[in-house]
Structure formats: C-alpha cells, structure tokens
Structure 1
Amino acid sequence: MSTDSPPKVLVALRPTGAEPPGLREKVDGLADLRFVVDAGQIAAESEDVEAVFVWNFRSTVVPDAVHRLPKLNWVHVAAVGVDASLSDEVRSRGIRFTNSRGVTAESMAEFALSFLLAFAKDLPRFTADKQARVWNPVETRMLSGSDLVVVGMGAVSRELARRAQALGMTVTGVGRRPRTEPVEHFDSVVTQDELREVLGNADYVVLATPLTAKTEGMFGPEEFAAMSSEAVLVNIGRGPVVQEEALLQALRSGGIRGAALDVVPREPLAPDHELWSMQNVILTPHISADFRGWEAAMVDLFIDNLRRWIDSRPLRNVVDLEMGYAPLDT
C-alpha cells in the first residue's frame, strides 16, 4: 500500500473507552487513528477508513458499520477469535483479516495445565477442607501416565501438548483434517469426525478451539456420553463450543468427574447460575490469555502488521474467513 497521507485506521475500543497502551506512541504518524466504542460513534468522514484495529474482540463495529466503510480492506483483531467481527456482508467484501494468534498461546497453555494439575492433585477438595478447617489426607493422581485429548490444533494446543508430554502424558490432538505426517508433541492426531472414538480413553479433555459455524455446540450429549466418568473437561476456547445443558447434566449425574471453565456460553456468568455452587467445577473469568504484558504484546503485533500493510508486504496471521481462524501450516 502506498499513499501520500497516513491511512485512516479505526480503533474499536472496549466499553470503558480506554485506549490500547502505547498505541499512539508506537503508531508515531504511520496512521491517522480514529477511536470509537461502537458503530454509532463513527463520523461521516470515516468513509475514508481503510483499516480497523479491533481492540475489543467482542465488538461488532465491523459488521455494524461495514456498509459505511467502502474503502475498508484490512481488519486486525486483538484476539485469536474473530467471530464477532464477521458477517455475510463482511465475507462478501473480501476484506483481509488478521488475528493475534501466538501472543497468548503460552499463557493459555499454562492456564490449561494448571487446571489439569488442580484436578490431579484434588485442589478443589483441599480448598473446601481449608475453609471447613478439616485435616483430611487423601491420595492424589499423577498426570504422568494419563491420557490427554486436546480439541484444536492451533498454537495454544501445541504449547499445551509440549508441556503435557514433558510431564509424561499421552497426547491426542483433534483437528479439522487428517495428518499424513506426525505432529511434534502429539502422540496421535485424529479428525473431528473421530472425536467420540478417542474420548473414552481420555483422563482430561481440553477444548482450545475458536468459535466457528463448525465448532459452535460441537460438544454435546453424545460427546459427554463418550467420556469416562473419571474424566475432566477443560474449556479455554470459547463458551458456546459446549452445549450448556449437556455440560450441567454430565456434572450433576457424575457422567464426568469435573470441569474447569475459563469460558462459558454467556459471559459474565449470572450470579445465580448453577455452576457457581458445583463443587466439581473450577471457574475463572475468561482470563487464560491475560498474562502481565499481554496488551503491549498485542499492540506490538498490530504495529508490525500495520507496517507490513502500508508497505504491501505479507501480513502475519491471515485469517481464512471460511474457517474463521488463521490456520497453521500443519
């Protein structure tokens, strides 16, 4: 891209209106930034906007305003999931999308691993015992020798697989397509069509998939029925990937041993929701990606892509709009 004046870039902020840390300084004249919280704040002169930086991954500014942005040709989302920014009209325009794959992969993998360790070492029980002032020694489990199924084959899953194998776990990956070659740190990889076949042997199942038309509601009654009653479900991907009532029923009935949820179908979780009172559930408020410094890292990735876009160089993390995410090479 080559222009005589800096391109206009719309920045879709979070509801608080707080700007991305250091963004203005790092842009340093590369672009003319316009900040909005919602589509209603987009001024008439924004018809010249050529790019959008979606700082609030839940924002619907792009689909809400795409008809008013005739020159828009690039959208960068400060997250891995881009579902909120997509619509049929957006897809039909052929707008290029990039995401922030990789920035939070290690943090999310560590978070998932902490959930596995918490259930292996029975930390929910000991937390309750502490509150009740009960001294109750029990035997705990080993992660070494256990079976992990990871649904999704993105950067987060690969970081988790590396850590899990180092602890002696057997790791099965579940991806969208067959693999003809081995994938590093996975003992085996199967397709989504084979998911139920591998769930029966799993001690732990981690969902690390984006939200797409194919993954929404993919984990339902049949998947829970295929799991062992001693298995634990961990969801660090997106809440709507799991059918909520099927999850609740599996937890109520003892169909699975427990669940660790960083995401739920409707966020924030209502104060009177049943999940709060379930002793076999660990809940965190969608923070598995939020390590100290993650916002600055997100801004840095955007700045790198902004320079590439201005110079007409290949962009990082280009999203396949039909799949809804930026695929890795394998």
Structure 2
Amino acid sequence: MGDSHSKPDVLVLRKGTHGVPIEQYATALRNRLSDRTVSLARTPAAERELIRDAEYVTGMVLEEPLLERAENLGVFACAYAGTGHLPVDRLEQRGVAVTNASGVHGPNIGEHVLGSMLRFARRFYVGNRRQRRREWRHYQVAELQGSTVTVVGLGAIGQAVCDRLEPFGVETIGVRYTPEKGGPTDEVVGFEEGPFHEALARTDYLVLACPLTETTRGLVDRDALVTLDPEAVLVNVARGPVVDTEALVEAVRSSWIRGAALDVTDPEPLPEDNPLWNFENVRITPHNAGHTPKYYDRLADIVAENARRYGDDSDAMLENRVL
C-alpha cells in the first residue's frame, strides 16, 4: 500500500503539484535523510493506514477526515506557502505544529515578475502581433530603468522581486504591515489608505506579492486603480481577490492603467467569458508563476532539516513554522 508498513520517520502524502510526480519529492527527501525512513503513501488506503502512527507528515493538503485518523501527529509540513486550505482550527486544537514552503518560490516567481515587467516596458506583445502578421514596422517602447516599482508584501517573494530589480536602476517602494521594520526597498509604507494611495500615485509598476488577509482582500479597488498613473502596470502573483476584478475590467477598458499581468484571478480559474481574456494588454497565466523544476528540491531542503530536528528533539525550533 505504501513504501513501508512500519512507522516512518517522514510520511509523504500522495498529492503532487505542478504536474510533477510526488515520487520526486519523496526521493529528494530520502536523499537528504539517508539515515531515516521516508514513506510515500501512494493511494488513499495507504494514507489512511500509514498516517495512524506517523508523527511527521508532509504534503500539499491534509483533509480533516485523514487528520482524524492521525493518532500521533506532531508536525504537518505543508508543501505550499499558503496554509489557508488546511483545517487550521482542528490542527491547533490537536497541538500539531504546521510549517510551510515559504521561500521555495522566491527565484521562479521573482523571474516571472521581472519578465512580466519587461514585457510591458519593451512591448513584446506588440512585436508578437506584428510578427504574426509578417509586418516589419517599428513601434515605440519604454525602459524599466528610472521607473518606480511598488511591491506589496515584503516576504520571501517580495524580497526575491526586489533582489532581481536591483541592477535595473529603479526606485522601489515596499508596502507591509509594519513599515517601521524597513525592508529591501528604498522606502516602506503601511497599508493605511493615505500612505498607500500616495505611493500608488507615484507608481509605474505595482507588484502584488502579499498573502490574502482581511487587510489585502480588495486592496486594489476602483479608488486604487484610478489613483495609479495611466501608464502604470499591475502585476499580481499574490491571490486573485487582492484585486477587485470588476474594477480591473473597467480600468483596462477605460485606460486607467497601461495593462496587467495576472497569474492569479478572482474567480479562479477565470471563466471563459470574462472580458480580461480578450485584452491584448492583459497577460494571463494559469497560476503558473510557482512552477519550477527545482520546487521539490528546495522544499526538501527545508522539510528534511526540520524532520531531522524534530526527530532529535520534538520541542526543537522548526524553520517556517506558522502554527
């Protein structure tokens, strides 16, 4: 049913991500934990059986019926950066520690954001259209250098974006809950309407890299989109509901902004009849910025180290602990 019928040091649940077989994740963990037992529960029945005694479990999801079978669970190492899909209340009641995959996505999402910005600066989409028409005709472009980039969220992804912007000669504004902490940007403001809108008024590229919270839900609304300069570009690699979709459609139709690059939408998947699909100055990718062939390796670095710490001392400090 699974790799092992004895109690494993680490149990890997069966759901993979980004179309990459979960076996690769189990192999990456085994390579880092050669002195420990790593079992992969490859079927629903194997999950139900092996989770009963497992203390350290990792996977993309942990649904409540499976959690209720886990008699000895001490740690759930979530293989996603976000944990909102987990039965957090029940995990907390049970005293289960939860870690996430924060930091795993930094390089790939940072590159995705940078590519999105360069696409608009150099207007590659116009070049693509003219190539399809076999039309050799010059067109106007801009430079990223000298722009002001506002990054909302200065966690691992926001940091990765800022690192990659460093050589491009841009001014950066960071938006975070605790601006007094500073950050990797030239200046930092909070989410209060006054400072946030003042930052938007100076913004050429607005990058959303924040978690979805009560504060960030609907953050980029009609007021925010009107406040942005008509030449501004929105790049969303956060969560769809951070942006008011109806207001964004109106903004693009009315040229309130130059365009948008959306890796996430609200709703998601974006319905086929949504007008955003049809605008040349809106680039939509299917929540794909997180894809990288290095995903399981980077994740395994964190999870294996935590498994080793936990195996040596169940009260040890765990990296990326969120609960």
Q: TM-score, normalised by structure 2?
A: 0.85
Q: In the alignment, which residue of structure 2 is the partner of 1:327?
A: none
Structure 1 residue 226 displacement after superposition:
2.0
Q: Secondary structure at the match of 1:133?
A: coil
Determine whether 1:190 maps to 2:189.
Answer: yes
Deviation readout 1:95-149 (Å, 9 max, x if unpaired): 2121122222022111101111110111112212222232331221111111100
After superposition, where does 1:60-99 map in structure 2 within 5 Å? 61-99=62-100
C-alpha contact (below 8 Å) 1:20/1:299 kept by paired residues: no
Q: In the alignment, which residue of structure 2 is the partner of 1:314?
A: 317
Determine whether 1:21 maps to 2:24.
Answer: yes
Alpha-carbon distance change, 227 to 36 in structure 1, aligned in 2, over 3 angstroms: farther
Determine whether 1:51 maps to 2:53.
Answer: no
Q: In the alignment, which residue of structure 2 is the partner of 1:300?
A: 301
Q: Percent identity, please.
A: 31
Q: Secondary structure at the match of 2:51?
A: helix
After superposition, where does 1:98-247 map in structure 2 within 5 Å? 98-179=99-180, 182-184=182-184, 186-193=185-192, 194-247=195-248
| Alpha-carbon distance in 2 for matches of 1:67, 1:8 | 18
| Alpha-carbon distance in 2 for matches of 1:122, 1:143 | 11
Structure 1 residue 77 displacement after superposition:
1.7
Structure 1 residue 42 displacement after superposition:
4.4
Deviation readout 1:253-281 (Å, 9 max, x if unpaired): 21211000112234433444322211111
Paired residue type of 1:23 = A
Q: In the alignment, which residue of structure 2 is the partner of 1:33?
A: 39
Q: Secondary structure at the match of 1:192?
A: coil
Q: In the alignment, which residue of structure 2 is the partner of 1:328?
A: none
| Alpha-carbon distance in 2 for matches of 1:93, 1:216 | 29
Q: Secondary structure at the match of 1:318?
A: coil
Unaligned runs of 5+ in 2: 1-5
| Alpha-carbon distance in 2 for matches of 1:88, 1:5 | 26
Higher mean alpha-carbon deviation, 66-75 vs 236-245, is at 66-75
| Alpha-carbon distance in 2 for matches of 1:52, 1:216 | 31
Structure 1 residue 291 displacement after superposition:
2.5
Unaligned runs of 5+ in 1: 322-330
| Alpha-carbon distance in 1 for matches of 2:302, 2:191 | 31
Alpha-carbon distance change, 215 to 71 in structure 1, aligned in 2, over 3 angstroms: farther
C-alpha contact (below 8 Å) 2:12/2:57 kept by paired residues: yes
Higher mean alpha-carbon deviation, 27-36 vs 274-283, is at 27-36
| Alpha-carbon distance in 1 for matches of 2:21, 2:164 | 35
| Alpha-carbon distance in 2 for matches of 1:63, 1:216 | 26
| Alpha-carbon distance in 1 for matches of 2:64, 2:213 | 16
C-alpha contact (below 8 Å) 2:263/2:287 kept by paired residues: yes
Alpha-carbon distance change, 63 to 188 in structure 1, aligned in 2, over 3 angstroms: farther
Count of aligned pairs between the two proteins: 310
Alpha-carbon distance change, 71 to 261 in structure 1, aligned in 2, over 3 angstroms: same
Alpha-carbon distance change, 227 to 62 in structure 1, aligned in 2, over 3 angstroms: same
Structure 1 residue 22 displacement after superposition:
5.2
Paired residue type of 1:183 = G
C-alpha contact (below 8 Å) 1:81/1:211 kept by paired residues: no
Structure 1 residue 5 displacement after superposition:
5.7
Higher mean alpha-carbon deviation, 7-16 vs 218-227, is at 7-16
Q: TM-score, normalised by structure 1?
A: 0.83
| Alpha-carbon distance in 2 for matches of 1:231, 1:142 | 13
C-alpha contact (below 8 Å) 1:224/1:255 kept by paired residues: yes
